[in-house]
Amino acid sequence: MRLLMWFAIAGGPAAWAVHLLTAWSVNELSCLSPTASGVALHDGSLGIRSHTAVWLGTGLPWLVAVAAVGSCVLLTRAHRSAQQRDGVEAAIKERTSLLLVLGWFLSLMSLAAITGGGIALLVLEPCA
């Protein structure tokens, strides 16, 4: 449960950070720089083409962010049932509520940011 809570809070922002860094760096590397590595990535001679890499760098983190939102759903249900039970300290209930709100917000916001990046990919060529 504790691990799931960590994932609910940090999973979304981590996914967004991965998206931003991988998609941006692959894009910048292969689209702008006339370098050996950039060209190799662009024409696929590295085994993967740049637009596939950019899509992967957006799609996979998007799925992780969705999973983080899913874990918030599970944890919220568990927290509600725990609140109805006696014997759980009020301070711990308070803290769990606070962390859950944090998890919900961070996951949803990360999901929104990655979705925004995905929309850009839908309307623009990866090397536009």
Partner 1 sequence: MTLDDVQPQLARADIDAAAAGMLPERALAEGTVGEKLRELWEEKPGLIGFISTVNHKRIGRRYLVTAAFFFLLAGIEALVMRTQLVGPNGSVVSAETYDRLFSLHGTAMIFFFATPMNNGFGNYVVPLMLGTRDMAFPRLNALSYWIFLFSGLLMFASLPLGMAPDGGWFAYVPLTRQLSGHGLDFYALGLLLLAVSSTVGALNLIVTTLKMRAPGMTLARMPVFAWSVLVQSFMLLFALPPLDLANAMLFTDRRFDTQFFAESKGGDTLLWQHLFWIFGHPDVYIIVLPALGIVSSVVPVFTRRPIAAYPFIVLATVATGIISFGVWVHHMFAVGISDVAESFFAAATLTISLPAGIQMFAWIATMWRGRVVLSTAMLYAISFVAAFVVGGVTGVMFAVVPFDQQVTDSYFVVAHFHYVLFGGAVLPLLAGLFYWWPKITGRTINEKAGKWSFVVVFVGFNLTFFPMHISGLEGMPRRIYTYGPDTGWTIWNILSTAGSYLLGAGFVFTLGVLVESLLRDRWAPDDPWRANTLEWATASPPEDYNFPVIPTVHSLNPLWDGQTLPSMVEHRYDDQRTMLDHHKTLRTSELDARVEAIIAMPSDTSLPLCLAACLTVSVIGLLAGLYVLAAVAFAGVGVAAVVWLWKRPDTVPPVDMTPPVGRTTGWWAMVLFIATEGATFAAFIASYFYLRFSATGPWPPHGDIPPKIVVPSIATAVMVLSCLPVWLAGRWAAKGRRALASAAGLVTLAAGVAFVVLQITDWFAEWPASTLSKDAYGSLLFGLTGLHVAHVVVGLGMLAFLAVSLLSRRAAARPGGPVSLVALYWYFMALIAVAVYVTVYLSPRW
C-beta of 55 vs 67, nearer to partner 1: 55
**Where along the sequence are the contacts to partner 1 (CB under 8 A)?**
13, 16-17, 19-20, 23-24, 27-29, 31-38, 54, 91-92, 94-95, 97-98, 101-102, 105-106, 109, 112-117, 119-121, 124-128
Please state the closest distance from residue 55 (CB atom) to partner 1, in A: 11
Please state the closest distance from residue 98 (CB atom) to partner 1, in A: 5
C-beta of 31 vs 67, nearer to partner 1: 31
Q: What angle do CA 75, 82, 86 make, to 5 degrees?
A: 165
Please state the closest distance from residue 5 (CB atom) to partner 1, in A: 12
